[in-house]
Structure 1
Amino acid sequence: MGCLTSKSRRCLFVTFLIAVVLIVLIVTLHKRPSEECYAKAAVAADAKVCSTIGRDMLKRNGSAVDAAIAALLCVSVINPHSMGIGGGGVFTIYNPSTGKVETINARETAPMSASENMFGNDPKKAIPGGIITREDLKNYQPVLNEYALNFTVGKYIFHAPDAPFGGPVLALILNILKGYNISSSSVSTIQNKTLTYHRMIEAFRFADAQKSKLGDPLHENMIEIVQKMTSVSFADHIRSKIKDDIKQKSYDEQEDLDNAPDDHGTSHLSIIAEDGSAVAVTSSINNYFGSGVISRLTGIIFNDQLWDFIEPEVINEVIKNNLIKPGKRPLSSMCPTIILDKHSGQVKMVVGGAGGTNITTATAQVILNSLFFDYDLQKAVTEPRVQITLHDTNVEDNFDQRVIDGLKLKSHNIHHNASLSVVQAVVRQQDKLCAESDFRKGGYPAGY
């Protein structure tokens, strides 16, 4: 597991790769793919060649999981700044023969010699991966959850990963908003759209306050917290606090939580196979190019997932569940989601995203756009999105200025400072499967 010995060489390598990626992004961001629909199967990855490889695996009678693994390996080569086998991920898998949706938590665990105060007073000086042993690697095991977190909104049953992932957060957001009877009329006029986005932003902030309580259920007691976050009664309680004419000044325990971990080196892909099975998988090496350290022997880029644990210096009673412990997995916003039609039992939508702390809210917005606002899938994914921080709301370029003006009248602090978030989705529309890979990363789907 030898690494580059020269810090300057390592920095030069990472800087060069970042420059290449930025050039590619600048060239591709302006190319918006048209909505692609297929008769039998569809794959949406954030690189066209990887969608194609996943599709080809399906055409060779591979399973949806086979296709997902093949596409992930491809993405690790095409977009090494986003993911790789030096990182980890989470799968949500639907089996049509049993009707079961399960998740596999294949995220990284803290080394057994890790400790709560291992970073000292200046965690930025920590050496990435420096305490991992052969035994840590040998003893690593993914965690299978045979029954994914599930909740119902309208005519759809949602399945997503439980804590420490973003499933409970997504559930709370959608349960809050369903009380407003969201539909295409919610965005049919500027007045309605402004009110709807105000409610969405408020729901995002209240859910984000609860997210800070999550942690690894193998190390922390998450039962009551998750039950509360996914309950309709708690969503009703939160909704009663939202005022339609003005932004809240406080969102319960969210004070001083701007230090929550953020990550950007992430990729998501969505698949529906010919047999009706489906996979949503999100994979990450945490920050761009992970730790910035590459194995001299294998070429694998090592992750820096320890940064997803909260540092002891910023801990309060609310966020203590995400402290570093040996063998523990950190909090994550990832929420690869499979949505079933409640009446037919078929997969309606497979969706998920990348983009650090904005993953869950970006995924929620695409779901709302597609299933509730009745946008076609391309518009659902390409529509400019909002992002939240503790006190401010960031909007993407081309966000409707009339809605911005309306939100400002409700005391929202609006900035054009959104970071990159990328969503891949596949939706069943009557007898066809439509797929969309987010233009924000230059992706393109494939199918047959």
Structure 2
Amino acid sequence: MILTTIRYGYYPSDEHRDRLTRPMRPLSFPADHLPTAVNLRRWMTPVEHQLDINACCANAFAGVCEYLIKRIHGVHIDVSRLFIYFNGRRMSERTGLITDQGVVQRAVALGLQKYGCCLEKTWPYVPENVNVKPSDKAFAEAREWTVVPLRIPCTIQAIETCLHNQLPVIIDIILLEEAGIAFHPNGRNSRMPNVRTGLIDRDRFHSIVIVGYDRRKRYFCARNSWGEDWGDEGYFYIPYHYLSNHRLINSADGLWTIKSILRRRNNANPTIRQLVLPNQQNRHHKIDLFLRISSINGISDETCGSDHESYAITGSSKLGRYNRAAVAVDNEECSKIGKAILLRGGKAADAAIAASLCNGVLNAHSMGIGGGCVFLIYSRKLGKAFSIVERETAPLNSNSTMFQGRENMSLIGSLAIGTPGELLAYKKAYDQFGGGVSWASLFKPTIRLCEKGFNISVALAFAIEKNKEHILNDTELRNIFVKNSTANELYKEGDLMRRPKLARTLQQIADEGVESFYQGSLSNKIVSEIQKRGGILTLNDLRQYGLDFQEAISFNLNSSLKAFTTSAPSSGPILALILNIMLGYDFQPTDLNETTTAALFYHRLTESFKFAFAKRSELADPLKINLEHSTKDLISKTYADTIRQKINDKNTFSEVYYGDNNTQSKSITGTAHISIVDEYGDAVAITSTINTYFGSMVVGEETGIIYNNQMNDFTIPEKKNYHGLSGSKNNFIEPGKRPVSSQAPLIILDSDGKVRLVIGGSGGAKIVTSVAHVTLLNLLFDKNVKEAIDQPRIHHHLSPNRITFEETFDQGVLNELKRRGHKTKCANYGGSVVQAIEWRKEQKEYWANCD
């Protein structure tokens, strides 16, 4: 659509409008490392035309609101631009006379915050109604919406940071072609309709939305409001230097974005749920789906904790820098507890136990004492690393065919429960490597949280809402997660929750030791409450639960770096194979800067994933099946060399080329990881899980323990488990056997025996590929731990034969991968969370980073 008149926004000379812009203090942004390019254009709704009225600012804010809705739900919902425009002018006019003279951004932001917004169909964009007050119906509908604008400083860095955090930026500029604005990405200019080249109305600002940047080409991608027939289908490109010229932009009003948007109806579930920064809690809003956006307000110097297991869209991770020790925990409160233990003289193992106990409460959907864990511990004094693999075991009364024809019972209910091993691992770690503080003191902070209460995190609120049906239909789950039983109101983010039953259980373990759990009075309660629900766990299962403590698997990465990981049934050997394959190539630190060389890296990485997952079916519980020969192969450089020779740099192949394993990645799981380095040079990487969200959905009526559903990790003949992973007879159910796990903690030392990297993650089958990816970026391309974690990731585990990639992954690299025969799929939701600590030799600091 081409009009005879092009409209803009407002004249900046009005004293009252200028006064409106001054009071609000802008948000500050840390000087973090950012990716080379970001583009959010694919999630924007179609570019609409503002027509012959000065409503560009309202069009910009409406576009960002629509983006947030589409980003969460994948649907385009039209927001009323005219309603937003009217209320913006209402906020800025003192006379009460609403005229079509444009409006400043801050006034529109205040109008949205005060009145909300309605749908386009309720108050349509009809220019003749530009000065007409919207209908009562429009205002009533708008009250259902809560919109929270956010002001940011007018700097290049702030724009880049905001875009990296997946938030488009609204800005007022004067459009001048001679200053370098281009209307196509290749730089070709096309004239603005009916306006001579080089001159737009120099006296008026025009609101646009910045949706992307490219540091290499030095331009921003911006969305206009003159329809899709203009520019590059409604978009154009602004050079960096243009936005540095404060004569061409409205620096007084600052830059704006939308922090969150929520639609709530009375007596009904929200139809459009909130999009919110996890560290900006709003206790009045129900959270379901959300984007992962962290560190926009910076971080404290005490913690690098963040909300756990969002498995969502890539955002900026949190970075902590420390001189003596570091704690990387995926929950802020638990990170503080780990730090407090270290400050009191505790060792890395002590801090890991205390933080894990906390995680088991604040991230109750993911882990706890009703599950199991994999401990990797490095002792600087001994110069050795050790593993404690306390995965849940199959009950003594189990058998390989017990779930045939009733596979869902391996997922939900008491039959799904394996014998928990978490507490026995804690005890061994404490006795062997801890003891800097008393055993009981490790439990005290978490007991206090259970008794006094803790605020529900975004992640736990998400898991509660996601499993609403199960929770409402189970008495014990209701007792914990339903806030108002009469109204079936679930706990939501920010609510205060208490766990008194679990507090009593933890106090008993603190006082009596883990013996109470496995042989004492607690064991009788545990068996009784599980068997009442139809489970087969017995006292003998608890009493005969064994300890798997041994030296960790070690392998040399190169002449100066040595790595440690855990043995099967964890996937440590699979991780070792991927690293050895990739480290055998001659990559250069600058290879990721160019599309061609970056694509070669990611092709080789994908091929190594496929070969590694083909070998996963050989894993099993080594206490039941001899894996000595297989493990030696998987960690040997000779075997990696053999695999590397099979990788074709120009083509990928079908599944049979890599092996006979058949796996398929599916859903979100409940897992948590902690990385810690203490002032003695010891390090711990611990990954804990109850398997899927809330495990078996069975809660002990006396103990308050949420029990695992680890039986689903075994192979049921001719069936796949919840994660879509099928295996071999090696992983069939057998009494006392531990199932294969994707857990893969890693510790890397330098030639002096000092910890170089401690890393691990959560996310089901994506743990291995994510840990490998981040580690390789750190080692091969000199990415610091924050840059490596922030980099968009890919995942492949053989079948289906396709790459899943995060939304912000480089499109040019994806195109090159497709040319090699790879199929690709964007993973809107579902991913992994990595926690890592590295020693920065140049800065003489530990850098701790949480995904």
For normalisation by structure 2, the TM-score amounts to 0.47
Instruction: Return the match for 1:268 from 667, 673, 689.
Output: 673
Aligned AA for 1:99? G
Identity %: 41
The reply on whether 1:149 has 2:562 as its aligned counterpart is no
Instruction: Return the match for 1:406 from 806, 816, 819.
Output: 816
Aligned AA for 1:137? L
Instruction: Return the match for 2:287 from 13, 17, 23.
Output: 23
Mapped partners of 2:292, 2:286: distance in 1: 10
The reply on whether 1:432 has 2:841 as its aligned counterpart is no
SS state at 1:184 partner: coil
- Aligned runs of 1:217-236 on 2, under 5 Å? 217-236=622-641
Instruction: Return the match for 2:684 from 279, 301, 312.
Output: 279
List gaps (5 residues or longer) in structure 1. 1-19, 439-448
Mapped partners of 2:700, 2:398: distance in 1: 21
- Aligned runs of 1:19-98 on 2, under 5 Å? 23=287, 26=290, 29-31=293-295, 32-98=316-382
Instruction: Return the match for 2:783 from 375, 388, 408.
Output: 375
Q: CA separation of 1:172/1:256 partners in 2, compared to 1, >3 Å: closer, same or farther?
A: closer
8 Å contact kept, 2:582–2:608: yes
Kindly state the Cα deviation for residue 252 of structure 1 after the two structures are TM-superposed. Answer: 4.5
Mapped partners of 1:78, 1:182: distance in 2: 42
Q: CA separation of 1:426/1:256 partners in 2, compared to 1, >3 Å: closer, same or farther?
A: closer
Kindly state the Cα deviation for residue 232 of structure 1 after the two structures are TM-superposed. Answer: 1.4
Aligned AA for 2:740? L
Answer with 1 or 2: which has the greater Rg: 2
Aligned to 2:745: 336
Instruction: Return the match for 2:832 from 417, 421, 427.
Output: 421
| Stretch of structure 1 that moved more, 389-398 or 259-268 | 259-268
Mapped partners of 2:353, 2:381: distance in 1: 21
Q: CA separation of 1:255/1:89 partners in 2, compared to 1, >3 Å: closer, same or farther?
A: same
The reply on whether 1:353 has 2:761 as its aligned counterpart is yes
Kindly state the Cα deviation for residue 180 of structure 1 after the two structures are TM-superposed. Answer: 0.9
Q: CA separation of 1:325/1:414 partners in 2, compared to 1, >3 Å: closer, same or farther?
A: same
8 Å contact kept, 1:86–1:301: yes
Q: CA separation of 1:369/1:425 partners in 2, compared to 1, >3 Å: closer, same or farther?
A: same
Q: CA separation of 1:149/1:253 partners in 2, compared to 1, >3 Å: closer, same or farther?
A: same
Aligned to 2:269: none
SS state at 1:375 partner: coil
Kindly state the Cα deviation for residue 27 of structure 1 after the two structures are TM-superposed. Answer: 6.6
SS state at 2:590 partner: helix
State the number of aligned residues. Answer: 417
Aligned AA for 2:850? S
Q: CA separation of 1:242/1:273 partners in 2, compared to 1, >3 Å: closer, same or farther?
A: same
Aligned to 1:302: 707
Kindly state the Cα deviation for residue 250 of structure 1 after the two structures are TM-superposed. Answer: 3.2
Mapped partners of 1:85, 1:78: distance in 2: 13
For normalisation by structure 1, the TM-score amounts to 0.89
Mapped partners of 2:657, 2:697: distance in 1: 37
The reply on whether 1:185 has 2:590 as its aligned counterpart is yes
Kindly state the Cα deviation for residue 259 of structure 1 after the two structures are TM-superposed. Answer: 5.9
Mapped partners of 2:603, 2:542: distance in 1: 46
Kindly state the Cα deviation for residue 82 of structure 1 after the two structures are TM-superposed. Answer: 1.0
Mapped partners of 1:335, 1:125: distance in 2: 27
SS state at 2:835 partner: strand
Aligned AA for 1:90? V
Mapped partners of 1:218, 1:211: distance in 2: 17
SS state at 1:267 partner: strand
Per-residue deviation, residues 108-160 of structure 1 (Å, max 9, x unmatched): 11101111111122211354331111221122133101x11011112211100
Mapped partners of 1:251, 1:178: distance in 2: 25
SS state at 2:540 partner: helix
Per-residue deviation, residues 361-394 of structure 1 (Å, max 9, x unmatched): 1000110111221112111111111011410110
Q: CA separation of 1:22/1:314 partners in 2, compared to 1, >3 Å: closer, same or farther?
A: farther
Aligned to 1:165: 570
Aligned AA for 2:647? I
8 Å contact kept, 1:206–1:251: no
Instruction: Return the match for 2:618 from 194, 210, 213.
Output: 213
Mapped partners of 1:253, 1:119: distance in 2: 30
Aligned to 1:99: 383
Per-residue deviation, residues 307-351 of structure 1 (Å, max 9, x unmatched): 111111249x9711111110001101111111111x211010100
List gaps (5 residues or longer) in structure 2. 1-282, 296-315, 418-534, 721-725
Instruction: Return the match for 2:393 from 85, 90, 109.
Output: 109
Aligned AA for 2:325? A
SS state at 1:23 partner: coil
Q: CA separation of 1:28/1:89 partners in 2, compared to 1, >3 Å: closer, same or farther?
A: same
Q: Which runs of 4+ in 1 moved over 4 A?
A: 259-263
Cα-Cα RMSD: 2.2
8 Å contact kept, 1:261–1:310: no
Mapped partners of 2:596, 2:286: distance in 1: 38
Q: CA separation of 1:364/1:259 partners in 2, compared to 1, >3 Å: closer, same or farther?
A: closer
